[in-house]
Amino acid sequence: MPETPKSWAMLHCKCPRCRRGNMFKGGFYSFATNKINDNCAHCGMKFEIEPGYFYAAMYVSYALNVMYGGILWTATYQITHNSDSPWMYIGIILGGCFLMSPITFRYSRVFLLYWLSPKVHYQPHLDTDDKISHN
Ligand SMILES: [Zn+2]
């Protein structure tokens, strides 16, 4: 059984332990449902490892927003060469961060669980088509 590639699993917001189950309900820009599942539907991993665990995702989303700000500031300067008014930069950066917020919400949690959680490991024996019984 070939392993599911980590990059594919991260891009598709799959469970970090089995790389099969979805971490989130609903679509990226869905107004109806857009939240993290409590447990992985495939292997049963509890995504919120301990109470308040996802507060740490705020730091990841802060870093992502700083990155967007840098990219948008650079792109705005390259396109307009505006050096008179800060308001255009502020508007574009805030608008860009707002439009990216559903993506930031998901990937801050994906990065937290994949890269910043030493207790969470990929377990290849769970990466199978068989449904694992939840004990
Ligand atoms: Zn899983």
Tell me if 88 is assigned to some domain: yes
Tell me if 134 is assigned to some domain: no
Residue whose tokens read 């993506």 = 103
**Confidence label for 116 from pLDDT (cuts 50, 70 and 90):** very high
Cα(123) to ligand 1 centroid in Å equals 9
**Confidence label for 124 from pLDDT (cuts 50, 70 and 90):** very high
Tell me if 40 is assigned to some domain: yes
Cα(77) to ligand 1 centroid in Å equals 43
Tell me if 70 is assigned to some domain: yes
Task: With beta carbons less than 8 A apart as the criterion, state whether 44 and 131 touch.
Answer: no
Q: What is the pLDDT of residues 41-97, one digit of tens each?
A: 999 999 999 999 999 999 999 999 999 999 999 999 999 998 888 999 999 999 999
* Host domain of residue 50: 6-126
Cα(64) to ligand 1 centroid in Å equals 25
Q: What is the pLDDT of residues 10-42, one digit of tens each?
A: 999 999 999 999 999 988 787 777 789 999 999
Could you give the maximum distance between any two Cα atoms of the chain, in Å? 63
Tell me if 133 is assigned to some domain: no
**How many structural domains is the chain composed of?**
1
